[in-house]
Amino acid sequence: DTGVSQDPRHKITKRGQNVTFRCDPISEHNRLYWYRQTLGQGPEFLTYFQNEAQLEKSRLLSNRFSAERPKGSFSTLEIQRTEQGDSAMYLCASSQGHMNTEAFFGQGTRLTVV
Amino acid sequence: SQQGEEDPQALSIQEGENATMNCSYKTSINNLQWYRQNSGRGLVHLILIRSNEREKHSGRLRVTLDTSKKSSSLLITASRAADTASYFCATDRTGGGNKLTFGTGTQLKVEL
């Protein structure tokens, strides 16, 4: 598989539960990005990593959101104490990190909080 | 926050016609990228145009960039029903670490 892989594709959870999503980037890509997309909108940047270093997390929506990339390969995005407003598509992308290189997206994880 | 605005928000054409979508943005950029998204799916990268380029082609796609007007256009020629999707422009801002800022998208419907 040469693309960005996300797991799970769909997640339904009850309000107040914690959820964790996984992203496996394209293997030679050192940059990994998380985005959130709500219905009818374009993706909104959340955070990104250069290898294992998290370079920006100010756009994470609240302190309930956290992301890791412990070995510079796969990444996880965790949402604690989910709320109905967290329902959205969570997208992961990766790139080589050089200027003017494309970012490739995974299929996303659709979260529904009930 | 959304940087770009796509115009129109929705476009419906007949198969074989050309479709043109426009994108405006606000800040200086390294490049601008266009993506396609089928309903409920991930984004597929279509084309990247650098800030020092004015036009780029890829198959049936033609992208223009006018940095003085902070605008771009995507032309799909000889459209097909399979082109039905949402199309987004995304800007890689100067000094932005390659993270992308997306517009609101154009929903294209190509009818048989």
- DSSP code per residue over A29-92: --EEEEEEE-TTS--EEEEEEETTEEEE-TTSSSTTEEEE-TTSS-EEEEE-S--GGG-EEEEE
Q: What percent of chain B has pLDDT over 70?
A: 96
In B, minimum Cα distance to A61 occurs at: B1
Token pair of A75 as six digits: 């990444």
Collapse the DSSP code of A94 into the 3-class scheme (helix H, G, I; strand E, B; otherwise coil) and give the result: strand
Contact A99 B97 (CB under 8 A): no
Instruction: Tell me the pLDDT of chain B averaged across its residues.
Output: 93
Given CB atoms, is B92 within the 8 Å cutoff of chain A?
yes
Instruction: Tell me the nearest-neighbour CA distance from A17 into chain B, angstroms.
Output: 24
The token pair at A68 is: 């890791």
Contact of B43 with B83, CB cutoff 8 Å: no
In this predicted structure, what is the pLDDT of residue A100? Answer: 82
pLDDT tens, per residue, chain A with 114 residues: 579 999 999 999 999 999 999 999 999 899 999 999 999 899 999 999 999 999 888 888 889 999 999 988 999 999 999 999 999 999 999 998 777 889 999 999 999 999
Residue B9 to residue B26: CA distance in whole angstroms: 18
Contact A109, A90 (CB under 8 A): yes
Residue A84 vs residue B99, higher pLDDT: A84
Question: Are residues A64 and A81 in contact, defined by beta-carbon separation less than 8 angstroms?
Answer: yes
**Measured distance CA(A43)–CA(B102) in Å, rounded:** 6
